[in-house]
Amino acid sequence: MTRLAALALAFLVAACTTTPRAGAGAGADWLAGSWLMLGAETDYPLSCNSDEPIVYESDGRYQTYGESGSWRLDDGRLVETATEVDAAGDPEATVIGRPALSRVDRTGPDAFRKTYADGTVATFRRCPAP
């Protein structure tokens, strides 16, 4: 009877556990927010009020100019999967449903460096709260 009670308790505990949200992962919450990729022509922070920033929502969704999808960050590995691209005839539409993998290294409380699969590196800075 004790085994049956232990088994029932194990099933009860398993039923109460939840799966992590899409954006969850080891320390992934810091990425939630609006980020601007810095470049020679970027006017930070003024460009934060344009359509340039990428917004990572805490529920695992992201959006940027002409694209939206889901994201997941685990141990510095960022997986972004586009689910919608504005211009259906655009060559970018071929990325829908294909996970894009990159490496993210946090360089400060409001900055990170993203290394894309092809080796390209971009620096991002958090946009100030409106």
Q: What is the CATH number of the domain that holds 84?
A: 2.40.128
Does any domain span residue 107?
yes
Does any domain span residue 5?
no
Does any domain span residue 85?
yes
Domain count, the chain: 1
Does any domain span residue 8?
no
Could you give the CA distance from residue 126 to residue 107 in angstroms, rounded to a whole number? 12
When the pLDDT of each residue in the chain is averaged and rounded to a whole number, the result is 82
Q: Which domain holds residue 89?
A: 21-126
From 75-79, 83-87, 105-109, 120-124, the region with the lowest mean pLDDT: 83-87
Residue 1's pLDDT band (boundaries 50, 70, 90)?
very low
Does any domain span residue 65?
yes
Does any domain span residue 96?
yes
What pLDDT is stored for residue 72 in this prediction? Answer: 97
Does any domain span residue 6?
no
Does any domain span residue 94?
yes
